[in-house]
Amino acid sequence: MDARRVALEIMRAAIESADPYRAVRRNLKVNENRLTVRGEEFEVKGKVYLLSFGKAACPMARAVFDLLGARIAEGVIVTKYGYARNCPKMEKLKVIEAGHPVPDENSMLGGKLGLELARKVGEDDVLIVLISGGGSALFLLPEEGISLDDKIRTNELLLRSGARIYEINTVRKHISAVKGGKLAKRVKGRIISLILSDVVGDPLEAIASGPTVKDPTTFEDAFRILNLYGVWDQLPESVRRHIELGLRGEVEETLKEDLPNVHNFIVGSNTLACESALKKARELGYNPLLLTTTLEGEAREVALALGSIVQEIARYDRPVQKPAVLIAGGEWTVTISGEAGLGGPNQEFALSVARKIAGLNAAVLAVDTDGTDGPTDAAGGIVDGETLERLKEEGVDVEKALRNHDSYRALEKAGALLKTGPTGTNVNSLIIGVVPKNF
């Protein structure tokens, strides 16, 4: 129980460090008619417009509102259902809740209103764009000829295919009217984008599918990815037709050059969260080891690898001596074939790693920092050396649950679900493994 308590305490410190409100306030300063972002100054001659989208859209918008208030001429905020409670209240700010991970009609409404707002920005005006994870689904506007249903079908196919988020976004950008820098193309004035990264390695063009940055990917890349994961033939006809037109150069490509009026800044990321976990572990008297902030792979396989390191620490005091904390950040995936149960990548990780740490005095948690892991009310799972035995006592066939991607129900029976509620931030996922000194 002590190991579980320590893991949870470190997790809370990591998530708090990625608080989007604080991230914006740390990086954006206002002095009369000047905005300063990380030492770079911008003069505001005209109006200030605000566009915020993603799971952290509201706290990020609140930070800007607290700095600029009535100086904001107009704004649009698009966030996930249930996440609007922290949005600033102002007549000129339109707040929309929309679907995630599967987009819906409100996602498209957000995209339409956002594009309309972008077109209002004059040459002397400033558009502050606040981008956070989930923006790809929440801020959506399909290219002409592609319906919302076709976009949703494409999104579902990609989410189930096991494709990485970067690959999914490559396709999204090439069937969207706002992603891949296309939003930036429509703005005459200055754009200042403050970005909370939820993508491994923080590539600007991949976060929320890069609506304000140039895009290195092409229609050829989108076509290759769709074939690589075997979904090309399952795509709606309108999507295949648009990509085929793109391959022939008959429709607009994504933005391919830096625009002098556009300035993009990362204000928070998984790296910051992992470094805060590192600091907290030291404060608690543990020897921390930060493995990586760019971990990727199939959840159940990544779990076996990380579980092996926990085993090594518990038994042989290497690669770090007990009492130890193992930290990793990134984004793991679940490839689904056929019907599936209920769960998410972090829950599947937790269920899988329970097999590897069985019998050890250790605890491991895996958590999505936004508080939602897959289509569930859990943020992830937390297991220890006794979890596997508890699962057996409850009659859970762990291997079958993993095959059926039914980790939620399995962890629920073992009391191993991790529920945080919406955290207000989103900087990928975290793994925290704790091995106390006594073994």
- 193 shares its domain with 336: no
Instruction: From 239, 268, 297, give the residue that closes a domain.
Output: 268
What pTM did the predictor assign? 0.81
Q: Please, what is the end-to-end C-alpha distance for the chain in angstroms?
A: 13
Residue 15 lies in a domain: no
CA nearest to 351, candidates 310, 289, 396: 396
10 inside domain: no
Separation in Å, CA 72 to CA 190, 296, 378: 15, 40, 36
Query: pLDDT of 273-313, one tens digit each?
Result: 999 999 999 999 999 999 999 999 999 999 999 999 999 99
Dump pLDDT digits (tens) for 249-270.
999 999 999 999 999 999 999 9
Query: If you average pLDDT over residues 120-148, what whole number do you get?
Result: 94
- Domains contained in the chain, number: 2
At 1, the pLDDT band (50, 70, 90 cuts) reads low
- Domain boundary (268, 285, 310) is at 268
- How many C-beta atoms surround the C-beta of residue 106 within 10 A? 16
240 belongs to a structural domain = yes
Shared domain for 75 and 174, answered yes or no, is yes
Assigned domain for 298 exists: yes
Give phi and psi for 335, each to the nearest 5: -90, 120
Tokens representing 295 are: 């971990």
Angle, vertex CA 96, rays to CA 90 and CA 100, nearest 5: 145
* Interval 215-229: pLDDT, tens: 999 999 999 999 999
Residue 339 has pLDDT above 80, yes or no: no
Same structural domain, 264 and 279 = no
Q: Which residue has the tokens 């410190």?
A: 13
User: Which residues have C-beta within 8 Å of that of residue 234, sequence separation ≥ 6?
Assistant: 157
CATH of the domain at 416: 3.40.1480.10
Does residue 14 sit within a domain? no
Give the model's pLDDT for residue 297: 93
Residue 301 lies in a domain: yes
The tokens describing 66, both together, are: 């607290």
- Is 128 in the same domain as 237? yes
Q: What is the CATH number of the domain that holds 203?
A: 3.40.50.10180
The domain in which residue 396 lies consists of 275-435
Q: What is the DSSP letter of 142?
A: B
Place of tokens 């770090």: 320
pLDDT per residue as tens digits for the range 6-30: 999 999 999 998 899 999 999 999 9
H-state helical runs in 194-298: 219-228, 237-247, 270-283
